[in-house]
Amino acid sequence: MKATGIVVEYNPFHNGHRYHLQKAKELNPDSIIIAVMSGDFVQRGEPSIIDRWTKAKMTLANGVDMVVELPVFYSSQNAEIFAKGAIGILEELRCNSMVFGSESGEIEELKRISTLQESDEFKIKLKERLKEGHSYPTVHSLTMKEILGESELNSNDILGLEYIKAIRYWKSSITPMALKREKVGYHDINIVGDFASATKIREHLKKNEEIKNIVTKESYNILKDYDNFTYMENFYPLIRYELIKNSKKLSDIQDMEIGFENRLYEGAVKFSDYKDFFQAISNRRYTMGRVQRVLTHTLLGLTNSITKDVKKSIPYVRVLGFNSKGREYLNYLKKFENSKIITSYKKMNEIFSPEVCSLIEFNEESSKIYRLINNYKDYKSPIILKEETNE
């Protein structure tokens, strides 16, 4: 059997995602579609606006055959680690190809750039410029222009480069395919026809504005009854507590730079309002995404040592849901030995090493923290789409 992977956040699933999914199916007509999906925390260091199980239902309802979770120790990280986790999971699931959104849509050019980026010259120049105090995206763009003669890349192309590098990192035979992004960009605030960015849709949801025309029918039917949309500021009391209570341990937190922990501690002591706090701790060196990731990692206790471990190998693969095609593919995967796939936590301690069990527990504890704000129903086994009744 063949499988094509897509890496998604679906925060929430909208018409642009439907286009991506349809094209992935057209490009790989003999494959099932597997989505590696961020769970309760996403790559920009924010909580997902809706919980992982609601997203899994939405994903299956919109036509994906199997949904697996990208654990929080990958999903809340920078593009490099996010991509390594996602591609590693697709490799464990024996995917033949993967399709990602791209501003350029030029897969061969992205392959060429990714190879050049791994040169010693590029890495040295990047480190030199970082010492000047600029943010990583700014430094990356300047180095691209200087070393590679390239214009600035946009967010999807940058992530696409990391997917390509991750395929090499895992020595995978997955074939990457770049799909040119249409209509609107990742952070676009404009609505073009029935296309809007997830950023714009989240803004509409926060203001309780109508979204019926900019999401799929399946997504709308789920979102219209959802009553607990979740935002970063909701977690500030918990983040503030961690920054003050564990101020001496902040240097161990993933992505924390020397000295920044003092800035965070002082801000937490001084400001009770999240917006005031965030404005006080931000500077030109740190992008919004970088700062939010540090805060999320502090909230969850995600350390440098945990990150170091999960970059070495994929510890497990958790299935959140599937349809009949997905079930058939899962049965196919059972033929292979040493499977890391989880559909149930029963006898987990007998199947996995203590180290892997601790990572599984870390991900579940992170979701318990999310549920302090959004108390969703937590499923113990995968959601099975009953296609004949579309449930």
- Average pLDDT of the segment spanning 259-275: 96
Instruction: Verify that 327 and 244 share a domain, yes or no.
Output: no
Q: Which of 176-185, 208-217, 262-271, 345-354 has the lowest mean pLDDT?
A: 176-185
Instruction: Verify that 135 and 244 share a domain, yes or no.
Output: no
Q: So what's the pLDDT on residue 391?
A: 43
Question: What end-to-end distance do the CA atoms of the chain give, in Å?
Answer: 25
Looking at 273, 307, 341, which one is the last position of a domain? 307
- Average pLDDT of the segment spanning 7-17: 95
Tokens of 158: 């940058």
Instruction: Verify that 43 and 165 share a domain, yes or no.
Output: yes
Domain extent at residue 87: 2-103+157-196+313-384
Whether the predicted pLDDT of 22 surpasses 90? yes
Whether the predicted pLDDT of 88 surpasses 50? yes
pLDDT digits (tens, 9 = 90+) for 121-144: 888 888 888 878 777 777 877 888
Q: So what's the pLDDT on residue 390?
A: 44
- Identify whether 12 is preceded by a cis peptide bond (ω within 30 of 0): yes
Number of structural domains the chain divides into: 3
Q: So what's the pLDDT on residue 387?
A: 67
pLDDT digits (tens, 9 = 90+) for 39-56: 999 998 999 999 999 999
Q: Is the pTM of this model over 0.85?
A: yes
Q: Which of 1-10, 112-121, 190-199, 227-236 has the lowest mean pLDDT?
A: 190-199
Confidence bin at 191 (pLDDT 50/70/90): confident
List residues forming the annotated binding site for ATP: 7-20, 101, 156, 181
Instruction: Verify that 324 and 262 share a domain, yes or no.
Output: no
Whether the predicted pLDDT of 189 surpasses 90? no
Please report, for residues 7, 129, 213, 274, 379, the alpha-carbon distance to residue 284 in angstroms, rounded to integers and kept in the order given.
30, 14, 37, 19, 42
Q: So what's the pLDDT on residue 132?
A: 80
Whether the predicted pLDDT of 187 surpasses 60? no
217, part of any domain: no
CA gap 72, 76 in Å, rounded: 6
Q: So what's the pLDDT on residue 230?
A: 97
CA gap 362, 369 in Å, rounded: 11
Instruction: Verify that 38 and 162 share a domain, yes or no.
Output: yes
Instruction: Verify that 91 and 13 share a domain, yes or no.
Output: yes
Whether the predicted pLDDT of 150 surpasses 70? no
Instruction: Verify that 33 and 137 share a domain, yes or no.
Output: no
List residues forming the annotated binding site: 7-20, 101, 156, 181
Instruction: Verify that 33 and 171 share a domain, yes or no.
Output: yes
Tokens of 236: 């500030």
**Contact partners, residue 280, CB within 8 Å, separation at least 6:** 267, 270, 271
Q: Which of 22-31, 136-145, 184-193, 219-228 has the lowest mean pLDDT?
A: 184-193
Confidence bin at 60 (pLDDT 50/70/90): very high
Instruction: Verify that 129 and 97 share a domain, yes or no.
Output: no
Whether the predicted pLDDT of 102 surpasses 80? yes
From the DSSP assignment, how many helices (H) and strands (E) are in the chain? Answer: 18, 8
Q: Where are the alpha helices (DSSP H) in the chain?
A: 15-27, 52-61, 72-75, 79-92, 107-117, 120-130, 136-143, 155-169, 198-206, 217-223, 236-245, 260-270, 274-281, 288-300, 304-310, 324-333, 348-351, 354-371
- Average pLDDT of the segment spanning 150-165: 84
pLDDT digits (tens, 9 = 90+) for 201-251: 999 999 999 999 999 999 999 999 999 999 999 999 999 999 999 999 999
pLDDT digits (tens, 9 = 90+) for 359-391: 999 999 999 999 999 999 999 899 999 865 444
Which 3 state secondary structure label does DSSP give 254? coil
Q: So what's the pLDDT on residue 244?
A: 97
62, part of any domain: yes
Q: Which residue has the higher pLDDT, 9 or 152?
A: 9
Quick check: 55 and 321 in contact, CB under 8 A? Answer: no
Instruction: Verify that 139 and 271 share a domain, yes or no.
Output: no
Q: Which of 68-77, 261-270, 335-344 has the lowest mean pLDDT?
A: 335-344
37, part of any domain: yes
Q: So what's the pLDDT on residue 338?
A: 75
Whether the predicted pLDDT of 302 surpasses 90? yes
Instruction: Verify that 173 and 260 share a domain, yes or no.
Output: no
208, part of any domain: no
CATH of the domain at 29: 3.40.50.620
CA gap 11, 40 in Å, rounded: 10
CA gap 226, 367 in Å, rounded: 18
